[in-house]
Structure 1
Amino acid sequence: MQASSHTWARTKRIYGPIILLTFFPRGSIAKEFVDRFDVCNEKLKSVWNGTSTFMDMDKAAMQERGYLYTDWPRELPKNTDYPRDQYVTLTYSGCVALCSRGSDQAQLAEPTFALNMVTTWIFPLAIVLSLPYDSLHSHRFVGTATALLNWLGSPQTALTATIFNFHQIRKAHRRAKNSPPAEFSTWNDIYYVISCLNQFDVTSHIREKNSDFFKVLVYALFNPMLADSQNAAARYTKPLLTVIAHQLRMHRRRAFIPTMANLGTFLIALVFSIVLSFAQVGEHTKVDMLVLGLLFTWLPMLVIFTNVDRTPVSADRTGELLSRWLYNVNVVKSWDEDGRPRRPLRWWIPPSMTSQSSNRNGNVDNPFQLGPFIGQGRKLQACCLSSVLMEVGDQLQTERRRNLKDYDTSTPYNDGARKVRNGLVAHPPSSWYKIAVIGLLLVWTSITMALLLAYNTPTIGLGCWSGSFLLFGILSSLTWMLQFIRPQRPPEGVRKICTIINFLSLGWLITVVFLMVTGGTNTCWCNSLHLFPKFGDYVNLESARFYRQYCNVVKSWAGATSLGLAMPTIGILVTSLLWRECQHLWRARERDSIEALRDSNINWVFLT
């Protein structure tokens, strides 16, 4: 950690919130706080002035023992007006001997300083609670913990998944908007269902070579629009599509706008940190809270993208409804392909323990069952189903306009199913790779701004604090790199390795925050950059006011702060506007149920 870390921590008077102070023992707050580095600096200045000695040593004796750093310090400009011989700088051994009495224990932060840090940042960081967790009442602790590790342990990987999914929503929005007005309602349903399907894992059907699943999926989505309006099957598939689209809209989680408002607390806290760092030039000016805020500017981006990624109220219920829909479409498809006289349609039936078609759990065997819910970056996997389905849909529409195939039969849909399956085992589209780079840049921009602020605050160099940010960036990027191993179907071993890495990364991030709040890295070893001696290997004991006046740190502070504040602000505003444009995909009202089900006598299959 830079030498200024002890300067930031040795404040004698900080205006923290009175309410929180009442919960702490009076003795720990009322007792005068003494920072040993501050005391050491005052005594050494008197030695420098020749008015006294320290530990029975004068300046010459200290220099003879190797306690003084006499080279030009990196942070002090060559053309400075401040005399170099008045600038107190100690070697690591000198700091330990003179300021720590031979024991390099951490100088913990003043209690009011820690409280000020907590109220300024720890509370706003509670926006992490706005992430779309699963309910724990169904014994899903492991799944929720894994999702949390993915989100916070490797935010660049989670942003890759969520931004790409939102990109697919935007593509669905544009396709629906460009459809003919008379067909808009149905195409709007089709593309919304596609965007919801993208949240579920269907790779099990690839492993099992279940081609029927993809044939029925393509048939269910595009037969309602591509088949002739007088086609017998379309008279059933279109109402089925209308019903499932309406049900999915009603099961979509609301309250996105309150979540957006909650993100404002983070930006407000960041502004407060900027004011505390720049508004007053004095002994108590500090940038530690600003550094912490810059380190987490990726968090609002992660929260907003996970919430725009179609959060269902119940992922299980949504998956079950989609599976029943495919089951019933398969009934229609088989019925239409049967050349014999029309038989009654045998729809999906509710589970029954006595049913011969039920398994031991009482569930009707359904070969069209979807896999687990993997939306919002919960699992290491590139979700490209919607991208492949939309491309196949475009091809089918082009062929239909050219009258190349008979869309009243299953042949064109079966051909499309083969393309879907092939697309899911191929490499993701180029847009996925571009978005992966964007996700990496967003997180590393945040980390780099915090790192630069810490790096350029005296003692200038890579210390414990800036080095800890760099280590988090490296750990969190390992998972990002591993996601390129078969992105659409990553090996289970790779997923387990990534979970371990994410656990270490998140654990280190929590440790960094704890050390920042408590001042746990305020030691001679960290302040002297002893790990990287080529950067100086010395300790300076001046105040933040001195650094601002003589060391030209304001430029680096301002540059890092401007970019760090702009990134989440612009990201939130732009995403909100784009989300608003796409609302037509999922907009629904309770009273729309009657209209949606008016022409259907099969809605009962979705209501159990």
Structure 2
Amino acid sequence: MYLRLRAILLLSAFAAASVSASGVDFDACLVQVKTGKFGTDGGRDNKGKEVAIENATAITYELCARACGSGSAPFVWQIFSQQFSAWLLPFLALVAQLPFGARDPFDNVVSVLLSVGSPTLAAYSLALTVLNGNWIARRFSRIAYPNVRYAIQILSRLQQTPLQIISDNGLLASLVVLPENDKWWSRLVHDLEYTHTWTISSVASILWVSVAFLFTVIDSFTVTIESPTLNANGQGVGSVYLWLLPVVIGWLQLGPKCDSKRLRKAVDDANHDLAFVATFTDPSHAHEVEYDFALSLKDHWGSVHRDEQCSPPIYNYARFLPWVQAVNEVYEVFEAAAEKAKNHKSVDSNAWRRSPGFGKIVPENRRGTRAQVEAYVRPQQPKEKNSSRWGPDVFSRFVVASVLALALTWSTTGAAVIIVWFTPTRGLGCRSGAYLLYGALSTVVWMLLVLSSGLAHYSDVPDGFNEYDEPIYGLASRVAAWLSIALRRLGKTIAAGNAVWIVAACIFQFVSFFDRCYCDSSVLGLGKLAYDVIVLVPGDISEMKLAWGGAVALAGGCSVLFLGWVKMLVNPPLPPK
């Protein structure tokens, strides 16, 4: 796939180059303008002030279009090959190090488009996954009961799955309480031990990108008037793609479990081999007496929940709310059992059997019939069936993950905008506008897909139950489901277009497609006052160095801070075994 992508990019570059192969020589055009061939009006200095035409280093956009035409500067293969290889190619190679793992190759392709098309969504899903891991560790660590440590590890590692918890017929209560299920917990933890971690390929890609960004830093302080590629350089490209570095390294540190086949096999094997359920007599293998299991992975169940089925971690945004509710359901069972054990109440209501070890609970205190096991984990005040639609502590994690994602997106995209904004002619032009549009669409995609996931979760919660205890979905739920599908498809379409757009914009920059009167005059920002700087003066360089240095510090500093935040929270402390 990577070789095919590279071929497409090169073909796009050649197509753009063919447009500008016979381009405009702006230096020669300025010489003609200074002779008065096109009149004596329109001369400007590099600040946009009117000067005599013979002293002009810049000209108005109207004069530029009349004298030089609407074409672009000529395509130079040496500049394109150098800039493409040094700036764009390393980041495209780094995209391949993002975690995938879906059974359907199409879902992996879509995850690439979502990541490149919306850095905000990619950073949001990563930050959310880290926060979820810390939340579950803190929440469960308050409980003193067997297998709590295993529960934290299993539930945290299953964030990339459509997790399903079933408490009917004593399934969940049996899984938590019965000592026969201790092997189930330890077996599943062991089978989920694998990680998406560091490889020679990932290290090489990260080093390649790091060196490329180091060149950005060096170029920020070594630019001169004679630099031939001020407008075709990769300064902005190096910043606009820099978000990839902390996101890829963050996922490598986190080691998400996203191989859908391996995850499903691990859960299914543990359920069929080791899961027990309480009966009216002795515990039995769950698959012998029940059709379902307490913890399993959902199969396909409709278009509304399409993204929840996809295992690449970027889809964790879609699993956030249902995962939180599933975790909370398990937590409440552990909490109720731990409270009874703390008060020395056994499952079978017999006298509490003391343990020779401090804090240990002997297996005899955890055995009983199905009715006894279900009663043991029943809270003192039963909650209503629809008392919590969203789950605990979701808003605070949503806000933190959103702030981090937006900060990373706009620090890197903003740095790219600053770099080209302060390259003469200063102002909003084609290059800065391209980066600004990329950041804006990235944010829009994130908003649409997060809203879609919220509506999908809302539509899945019934408005009530009929006399047969079957869920009832009203008009609001059906409308929410329809809106969720529409917003999800719209967001993905925009993300795909944005991914293509940013790659094309970078290629256009390298082949000098943007080096034309309209773009060089910053018409988008200056309007009727637009002018085209053709010859740089020493004062321009000092201002550019200051702006470029600040932009590099902004992008690099925020990326390091984001990565440092991930590093601090990636391995939360767990309770003892």
Determine the C-alpha separation between the residues in 2 that align with 1:377 and 1:42: 54
**Closer, same or farther in 2 for the Cα pair 1:176/1:531, shift >3 Å?**
closer
Residue 385 of structure 1: CA displacement?
A: 5.4
**Closer, same or farther in 2 for the Cα pair 1:268/1:75, shift >3 Å?**
farther
Query: Deviations along 1:476-529, whole A, 9 cap, x unmatched?
Result: 111222244364553223221211121121121122122122111111111122
Determine the C-alpha separation between the residues in 2 that align with 1:406 and 1:366: 24
Determine the C-alpha separation between the residues in 1 that align with 2:560 and 2:341: 45
Task: Report if aligned partners of 2:241, 2:412 keep a CA contact under 8 Å in 1.
Answer: yes
- The residue identity in structure 2 corresponding to 1:39 is A
Determine the C-alpha separation between the residues in 2 that align with 1:383 and 1:309: 17
My pick for the range that moved more, 513-522 or 392-401, is 392-401
Query: Deviations along 1:400-438, whole A, 9 cap, x unmatched?
Result: 465397664223546599799865645834212221122
Residue 198 of structure 1 is matched in structure 2 by 159
Task: Report if aligned partners of 2:24, 2:72 keep a CA contact under 8 Å in 1.
Answer: no
Tell me if 1:381 matches 2:325: no
Task: Report if aligned partners of 2:407, 2:558 keep a CA contact under 8 Å in 1.
Answer: no
Task: Report if aligned partners of 1:459, 1:527 keep a CA contact under 8 Å in 2.
Answer: yes
Determine the C-alpha separation between the residues in 2 that align with 1:92 and 1:211: 71
Residue 599 of structure 1 is matched in structure 2 by none
Tell me if 1:62 matches 2:39: yes
Summarize the alignment of residues 196-595 of structure 1 with structure 2, pairs less than 5 Å apart.
196-202=157-163, 212=168, 216-217=171-172, 220=175, 222-223=176-177, 233-234=178-179, 236-249=180-193, 251-255=194-198, 259=202, 262-284=205-227, 286=229, 288-312=233-257, 314-326=259-271, 332-335=276-279, 338=280, 340=281, 342=282, 345-346=284-285, 348=287, 369-371=296-298, 372-378=309-315, 380-384=317-321, 387-388=324-325, 389=327, 392=332, 395-396=335-336, 399-400=339-340, 403=343, 408=366, 409-411=373-375, 413=377, 425-426=390-391, 428-485=394-451, 487-488=453-454, 490=456, 491-534=484-527, 536-543=529-536, 547-548=540-541, 552-576=543-567, 578-579=569-570, 581=571
3-state SS in 2 of match to 1:275? helix
5+ long unaligned stretches in structure 2: 1-13, 299-308, 348-365, 367-372, 457-483
Residue 30 of structure 2 is matched in structure 1 by 41
Task: Report if aligned partners of 1:294, 1:446 keep a CA contact under 8 Å in 2.
Answer: yes
3-state SS in 2 of match to 1:130? coil
Determine the C-alpha separation between the residues in 1 that align with 2:140 and 2:48: 58
Task: Report if aligned partners of 1:456, 1:556 keep a CA contact under 8 Å in 2.
Answer: yes
- The residue identity in structure 2 corresponding to 1:513 is C
Determine the C-alpha separation between the residues in 1 that align with 2:268 and 2:28: 71
Query: Deviations along 1:241-271, whole A, 9 cap, x unmatched?
Result: 111111111x433436863563232122111
**Closer, same or farther in 2 for the Cα pair 1:291/1:94, shift >3 Å?**
same
**Closer, same or farther in 2 for the Cα pair 1:178/1:367, shift >3 Å?**
closer
Residue 76 of structure 2 is matched in structure 1 by 110
5+ long unaligned stretches in structure 1: 1-24, 48-52, 224-232, 350-356, 358-363, 586-595, 597-608
TM-score (norm 2): 0.73
Determine the C-alpha separation between the residues in 2 that align with 1:256 and 1:170: 26
Determine the C-alpha separation between the residues in 2 that align with 1:488 and 1:300: 29
Query: Deviations along 1:73-104, whole A, 9 cap, x unmatched?
Result: 6467x9xxx9997232222231122223xxx1
Tell me if 1:189 matches 2:129: no
Residue 359 of structure 2 is matched in structure 1 by none
TM-score (norm 1): 0.69
Task: Report if aligned partners of 2:336, 2:379 keep a CA contact under 8 Å in 1.
Answer: no
3-state SS in 1 of match to 2:532? strand
- The residue identity in structure 2 corresponding to 1:147 is S
Task: Report if aligned partners of 1:195, 1:386 keep a CA contact under 8 Å in 2.
Answer: no
Tell me if 1:152 matches 2:111: no
3-state SS in 2 of match to 1:575? helix
**Closer, same or farther in 2 for the Cα pair 1:442/1:576, shift >3 Å?**
same
Determine the C-alpha separation between the residues in 2 that align with 1:143 and 1:517: 31
Query: Deviations along 1:331-381, whole A, 9 cap, x unmatched?
Result: 62233xx1x4x37x34649xxxxxxx9xxxxxx987964133445113651
Identity level (%): 17
Determine the C-alpha separation between the residues in 2 that align with 1:468 and 1:497: 21
Determine the C-alpha separation between the residues in 2 that align with 1:533 and 1:459: 10
Residue 447 of structure 1: CA displacement?
A: 0.8
Query: Deviations along 1:182-217, whole A, 9 cap, x unmatched?
Result: x89x443221101122221247x7xxxx6539x635
Determine the C-alpha separation between the residues in 2 that align with 1:420 and 1:377: 31
Residue 578 of structure 1: CA displacement?
A: 4.6
Task: Report if aligned partners of 1:154, 1:502 keep a CA contact under 8 Å in 2.
Answer: yes
One of 98, 114, 134 as aligned partner of 1:131 = 98
**Closer, same or farther in 2 for the Cα pair 1:34/1:381, shift >3 Å?**
closer
- The residue identity in structure 2 corresponding to 1:320 is K
Task: Report if aligned partners of 2:107, 2:310 keep a CA contact under 8 Å in 1.
Answer: no
- The residue identity in structure 2 corresponding to 1:272 is F
- The residue identity in structure 2 corresponding to 1:403 is N
Summarize the alignment of residues 19-34 of structure 1 with structure 2, pairs less than 5 Å apart.
none
Task: Report if aligned partners of 1:457, 1:553 keep a CA contact under 8 Å in 2.
Answer: yes
- The residue identity in structure 2 corresponding to 1:199 is Q
- The residue identity in structure 2 corresponding to 1:120 is A
